[in-house]
Structure 1
Amino acid sequence: MTHVVGEACIGCKYTDCVALCPVECFHEGPNFLVINPDVCIDCGVCVAECPVEAIFDEKDLPEAQREYVELNLRLAQSWPLITGSKEPMPEADAWAEKSSKREYLVEMV
């Protein structure tokens, strides 16, 4: 099992989780973060740090977000590694309140 970044991260990119990761498994896209499952050691320290509760243990991922398992795997292969905290996206607080954001995920870097 691994951890998965889900839909709530879209448009936010709070990176509190990245700074705590002991194995550097986060990758950054234009408006979303993903976890590389091949690197994640399933320690879980990132889960509590996400202010929008976007990170799940794979077994706890809501059924409606199961596609994010594959998305994290696929996008981690092409998106650059992120190893430290950055400022969130400019409108992160507004995006944090939104739901059903999948259509806004930008996959191209």
Structure 2
Amino acid sequence: MTHVVTDACIRCKYTDCVDVCPVDCFHEGPNFLAIDPDECIDCAVCVPECPAGAILAEDDLPAELAGWVALNAELARQWPVISQRQAPLPQAEQWKDTPGKLAYLER
């Protein structure tokens, strides 16, 4: 099992989760983070660190978010690893509680 970053991360990109990850499984895109399912050790330390509540265990994903498992895997293969915390995107607080942000994902 793996953990999955969902659309709540889009246009926020808080990186608090990156600081606590013991295996560097996060990958950084322009406005989103993805978890590499092959690297994630399912430790769950990232879950409470995300201010946007964007990280869920694969087994806890509601049916409407199931596609995020494959999307994380795809994007993790394309994007570089991020291993240090960075500032969130400038308008992160404004976007944090906005639902359904998939249309804003920048690949």
Give the alignment's TM-score, normalised by structure 2. 0.98
Q: Are 1:39 and 2:39 matched, yes or no?
A: yes
C-alpha distance in structure 2 between counterparts of 1:31 and 1:63, whole Å: 24
Give the corresponding residue for 1:86: 86
Residue segments in structure 1 that go unaligned for 5+ positions in a row: none
C-alpha distance in structure 1 between counterparts of 2:63 and 2:98, whole Å: 19
Residue segments in structure 2 that go unaligned for 5+ positions in a row: none
C-alpha distance in structure 2 between counterparts of 1:54 and 1:78, whole Å: 20
Give the corresponding residue for 1:103: 103
Counterpart AA for 1:97: D
Give the corresponding residue for 1:73: 73
Shift of the alpha carbon at 1:62?
Answer: 1.6
User: Which runs of at least 4 in structure 1 moved beyond 4 Å after TM superposition?
Assistant: none
Give the corresponding residue for 2:24: 24
Give the corresponding residue for 1:9: 9
Secondary structure at the counterpart of residue 56 of structure 1: strand
Shift of the alpha carbon at 1:97?
Answer: 2.1
Counterpart AA for 1:93: E
C-alpha distance after superposition, 1:68-87 (max 9, x if no partner): 10000000001010001000
Aligned-CA RMSD value: 0.6
- State, as a whole percentage, how many aligned pairs show the same letter: 57
Secondary structure at the counterpart of residue 46 of structure 2: helix
C-alpha distance in structure 2 between counterparts of 1:87 and 1:60, whole Å: 28
Counterpart AA for 2:36: N
